Amino acid sequence: MPRVACVQMDVKYGDKDSNVTRITEELCKQASNQVDIVVFPECCIAGYCIASADQRSEIGVELNSVEFLVIQSTVDATGVTAIFGFAEFTGGEYYNTAALMQPNLRPQFYRKTHLPELGYDRHVLVGNDLLVFDTKFGKIGILICFDVRFPEAARILALKGADAIFLPTNWPKGADISADVLAVARAAENKVFVVTCNRVGNERGFQFIGKSKIIDPMGQVLASAGQDEQVIVADLDFELSRNKRNVTIPGKHETTVFESRRPELYGSILNHIDQNKEKQSTVESRSREN
């Protein structure tokens, strides 16, 4: 049963040293609190709110950078697993990426698969994989911010066996529906834990709303943050998410999460696949042009 902490923090734009120091300090602090997994916001190493492709270099982070080495060494020393978002710069290309760092293991990565027309996401390439990662605690999936708007993404991770879905976010003012409703719905409809970690503060005119949450497989909020810097903690019993049957009254009122599905009726979703591929190609072309 892992203990999870979400560090809802105010990210300082372009100040990698300051943000990484905050991350490593929190890893050490939460290790002393017997926390197993510490989650940080989307793009928390250097910020998110750029206005043009030219500004990507101000926040871009390479995978072999000193920032990564410092965080990995802290993970190794504390024994705490870290999940955090960053603006990835690899091979001349940019992605919106989340890292999973486990002690004494190579980092693993998820690249954001659904891109809003906002900030850094206007100028990056789209990810193409919905991944489930093995940890010593169980299987976890990772999505990033806007990904939660699409029920298919969380459903795929749940079908792949994810016990919990972790969601680093940069929810700005106006995104309350994602924090208050959609994240809860994704937990309940898939019977998985959903852990959201947002940021706070103001960056280049964007105000971030906080509202990080740790949600259980029945959609109950175990821990919730306000709109200021805060750390929330909860224990996740993955046995709850592995049981996909809901029993209200034994033998009289029971439901199943996956067995009751009717995939043969859902073909209309796939009818739009060519249109979606065309849109994805447009997004990639736009990003390369930028």
Known catalytic residues?
42, 112, 145
Tokens read off for 198: 């947002």
Please state, in angstroms and rounded to a whole number, the distance separating the CA atoms of residues 28 and 30.
6
Reduced 3-state DSSP string for the chain: CCEEEEEECECCCCCHHHHHHHHHHHHHHHHHCCCCEEECCCCCCCCCCCCCHHHHHHHEECCCCHHHHHHHHHHHHHCCEEEEEEEEEECCEEEEEEEEECCCCCCEEEECCCCCCCHHHHHCECCCCCCEEECCCCEEEECCHHHHHCHHHHHHHHHCCCCEEEEECCCECCCHHHHHHHHHHHHHHHCCEEEEECCEEEECCEEEECCCEEECCCCCEEEECCCCCEEEEEECCHHHHHCCEEEEECCCEEEECCCCCCHHHCHHHHCCHHHHHHHHHHHHHHHHHC
CA-based radius of gyration for the chain = 19
Phi and psi at residue 16, to the nearest 5°: -65, -40
